[in-house]
């Protein structure tokens, strides 16, 4: 039976090892100054090294096609009194969000996918921009790029989300102070 757990022995000799989130073993400089021992409960004998149990990295349940949304952002959208067209545009854009929240699909193509005229689509998109839900990015060729405001939702790494939120704060003239926790969280 495969439980998905990984076991390995860690020596307390000159080289101390740990496993990272991706289960690759690597030297652990912070641990190398500590002596790690295990005591046999029956004999009291001090054993060198220890056995580490690694849980497999948890998956979010979605194999593909996911985006995380903040509940307070859903409330803000409900209170914004968005039209049905604006909500349809939000959902089709959400269906095309790429990693790190970028969207690069022509407005005509998106409008066609939901049976909406280009002018209605553009009007609804401008409303989403006015509410701060969708952010306009740089043009790529003839197509505009957009980004879901990272305060509303995210598709990507936790570190990338934190960086995107900090960038939004800087854009508003706020100062971002990095803490040790921000640096260590990865």
Q: pLDDT tens across 61-87, in order?
A: 666 777 888 888 889 999 998 999 999
Non-local CB neighbours of 28 within 8 Å, separated by 6+ positions: 16, 17, 18
pLDDT of residue 81: 87
pLDDT of residue 167: 84
Alpha helices (H) in 15-172, listed in sequence order: 71-79, 84-95, 107-113, 118-130, 158-171
d(CA 104, CA 41) in angstroms, rounded, equals 61
* pLDDT tens digits for range 34-43: 556 677 788 8
d(CA 152, CA 133) in angstroms, rounded, equals 7
pLDDT of residue 181: 55
d(CA 138, CA 155) in angstroms, rounded, equals 19
pLDDT of residue 112: 95
pLDDT of residue 6: 45
Q: How confident is the model at residue 31 (pLDDT cuts 50, 70, 90)?
A: very low
């Amino acid at each position: 039976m495969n439980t998905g757990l990984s076991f390995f022995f860690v020596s307390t000799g000159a080289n101390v090892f740990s496993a990272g989130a991706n289960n690759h073993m690597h030297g652990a400089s912070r641990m190398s100054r500590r002596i790690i021992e295990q005591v046999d409960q029956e004999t009291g004998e001090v054993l060198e090294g220890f056995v580490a149990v690694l849980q497999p990295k948890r998956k979010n349940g979605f194999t593909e096609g996911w985006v995380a949304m903040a509940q307070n952002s859903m409330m803000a959208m409900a209170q914004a009194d968005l039209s049905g067209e604006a909500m349809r545009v939000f959902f089709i854009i959400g269906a095309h969000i790429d990693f790190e929240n970028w969207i690069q699909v022509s407005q005509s193509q998106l409008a066609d996918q939901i049976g909406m005229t280009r002018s209605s689509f553009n009007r609804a998109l401008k409303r989403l921009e006015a509410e701060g839900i969708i952010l306009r990015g740089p043009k790529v060729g003839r197509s505009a790029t957009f980004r879901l405001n990272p305060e509303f939702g995210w598709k990507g790494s936790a570190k990338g989300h934190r960086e995107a939120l900090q960038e939004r704060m800087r854009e508003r003239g706020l100062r971002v102070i990095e803490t040790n926790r921000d640096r260590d969280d990865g």
